[in-house]
Structure 1
Amino acid sequence: MSGHNGLISTAELADILDRPNLRLFDCTTYLEPAPEGSSQPYLTVAGRHTFEAGHIPGADFLDLQAEFSDASTELRFMMPDVAQLEAAFGRHGISNDSRVVLYSIGTPMWATRFWWMLKSLGFENVSVLDGGLDKWKFEGRPLDTGPAKGYAPATLVAEPKDGFFVDKHETLAATSEHGTVVVNALGPQFHRGLEPSRYGRPGRVPGSCNVSAATLLDPKTKAFVPLAEAEAKFKAQGITKDKRVVAYCGGGISATVDLFLLHRLGYDNLTLYDGSMGEWAKDASLPIETG
């Protein structure tokens, strides 16, 4: 299975649902409009309600903001310290011997975010379900309802890897580095600053190119586009394998869709600007570009 470079199909998952070392998770979060005057760009609502309404049999639920993000910052979904992640993944039954499969609803970005986090901890046996719950349901496959039964707690020992995350200073430096390309996964209208931004100043990290995460997915099945199509989109923006890639979006979530496909295409110098526009747009000391 590892030959699939992190991707697993619904048919392949159906075949391994009864494996004792499988750890299967719904990772969905919903972004709801923030009330007037809120300092937050949106409210984060864990997808527990849709999990309980229907999930792949045996799956558990992961709450990204509550358990797997840094609670000490105003920014949502920031990478917490390794000890917090080891404890949280362990509580959900992940050990170094587990086979982890991740999925989400409507978009794979919540699953790819957890994939990226696990990879950064040196955990390799992790796959994202192509098409997520949408494709699973579309194919008429079985569902369970009700709260998660969960997995027996386990111990995960991380071997953290450098280079998976960069901050605003490293991202600013990257904009003038020959051999680095900065890519924005938000939609083109936000990239160009044509629409008001929920994060603050409209626009983009100067010099960044745009490969919107939405263009890397089939709108009907929510599956990833074929690799050749993804590669053409990246190459059209000057993203080639000899370059280092710094990806960003609004909150460090949809950019992991770009990173997932780049990884599957064999790009290996990949990093995520974790703060993304949630941080950049608010910091008046950082340059921003529109048009």
Structure 2
Amino acid sequence: MKNLITCQQLHKRLNDPALVLFDAGMLRPGVLGSYKPEAMLPNAKRFDIKNELADRSNPLPSTMCNAQQFTQVMQQSGVNHDSFIVVYEDQGLFSAARAWWMLKAMGHHNVKVLSGGLKKWLACGYAVQQGYSEALMGGDFEASYNPSYFIGSQQVLAAIDDTNTVLLDARAYKRFTGQETEPRKGMRSGHIPQSRSLPFLDLLSDGEAKSFEDIKAKFAYAVGNVQHLQFSCGSGITACVLALFADECGYKNLSVYDGSWSEWGASDSLPITKDV
């Protein structure tokens, strides 16, 4: 797959001077504490979606920061305009796709996600380190933000009755239908009207991507002939897993609803639907 790199492929490129490795892991919803992986890949830097690279003025969790903030963090991490970036997380695929999408939104397209993450890397017996590395020198990357990558509630609301647009919801199916309550307090249950369910976990097997044919079939069933795809989830993280695989399947005109259900489910002014 064009957006994924295997542990074996990455291991062969560890000495590539253009390579920048980022650990973009984060805790799953409802898990207390802080993200502390058991080890880091060689020379890995931290890609902190929830804090350092979030819009700190936004009360919603983990929303996208501005280009200036993103540029500063990437330059401090030694990212250059011609860097080859690989993002990973401790296990499975949850937040690394969000880092991949953020980088592309900011104009850096030479980026891949490590299939299987740290868990698979350790299973392969490859070397790791304790602690994150610091860049030896600053990078020259300058972010150029493309606003089509992330959209807000008003854009989602305006597209509900647009037959050329469909919103795919990455949450578990019972959260989508409203059969299960939301893990965050104060959230309504259900989904955005006209949206369709495509749980991100349905595209994975033991934390790694299912076969390309299987993923393509699931998208074809959920999407049909629609031209513009929007993606939502609990807080804009796993929606990016859908964006990654939609891009893999060749779909264009892709947008992630950044606030996702953390915004929509908390607002009584936005319409919802339940299937129960």
Is the pair's TM-score, using the shorter chain for normalization, greater than 0.5?
yes
Task: Tell me if the contact between 1:135 and 1:223 (Cα under 8 Å) persists in the aligned partners.
Answer: no
Deviations 1:201-235 (A, max 9, x none): 0010111111101111112xx21111110111111
Runs of 4+ in structure 1 off by over 3 angstroms are none
Secondary structure in structure 2 of the residue aligned to 1:246:
strand
2:238 aligned with 1:254, yes or no?
A: yes
Q: CA deviation at 1:138?
A: 2.0
Q: CA deviation at 1:54?
A: 1.2
Task: Tell me if the contact between 1:46 and 1:63 (Cα under 8 Å) persists in the aligned partners.
Answer: no
Q: Please give the alpha-carbon distance, in whole angstroms, between the structure 1 residues aligned to 2:28 and 2:209.
A: 22
**2:19 corresponding residue in structure 1:** 22
Q: CA deviation at 1:157?
A: 1.1
Secondary structure in structure 1 of the residue aligned to 2:156:
helix
Deviations 1:166-202 (A, max 9, x none): 1001101111101101100000010000011134000
Q: CA deviation at 1:268?
A: 1.2
**1:285 corresponding residue in structure 2:** 269
Secondary structure in structure 2 of the residue aligned to 1:256:
helix
Secondary structure in structure 1 of the residue aligned to 2:208:
coil
Q: CA RMSD in A?
A: 1.5
**1:204 corresponding residue in structure 2:** 191
Secondary structure in structure 2 of the residue aligned to 1:258:
helix
2:56 aligned with 1:80, yes or no?
A: no
Q: CA deviation at 1:109?
A: 2.5
Task: Tell me if the contact between 2:84 and 2:110 (Cα under 8 Å) persists in the aligned partners.
Answer: yes
Q: Please give the alpha-carbon distance, in whole angstroms, between the structure 1 residues aligned to 2:133 and 2:104.
A: 26
**1:165 corresponding residue in structure 2:** 150
TM (normalized to structure 1)?
0.89
**Count of aligned residue pairs for this structure pair:** 272
Give the percent of matched residue pairs that are identical in Structure 1 and Structure 2: 30
**1:99 corresponding residue in structure 2:** 84
Name which of 221, 227, 233 aligns with 1:243.
227
Letter in 1 for 2:45: D
TM (normalized to structure 2)?
0.94
Q: CA deviation at 1:100?
A: 0.4
**1:10 corresponding residue in structure 2:** 7
The residue correspondences of 1:1-291 to structure 2 (distance < 5 A) are: 4-31=1-28, 33=30, 46-47=34-35, 49-50=36-37, 53-145=38-130, 147-151=131-135, 152-199=137-184, 200-219=187-206, 222-240=207-225, 242-291=226-275
Q: CA deviation at 1:108?
A: 2.0
Aligned CA distance change for structure 1 residues 46 and 144 (closer, same or farther; 3 Å): same
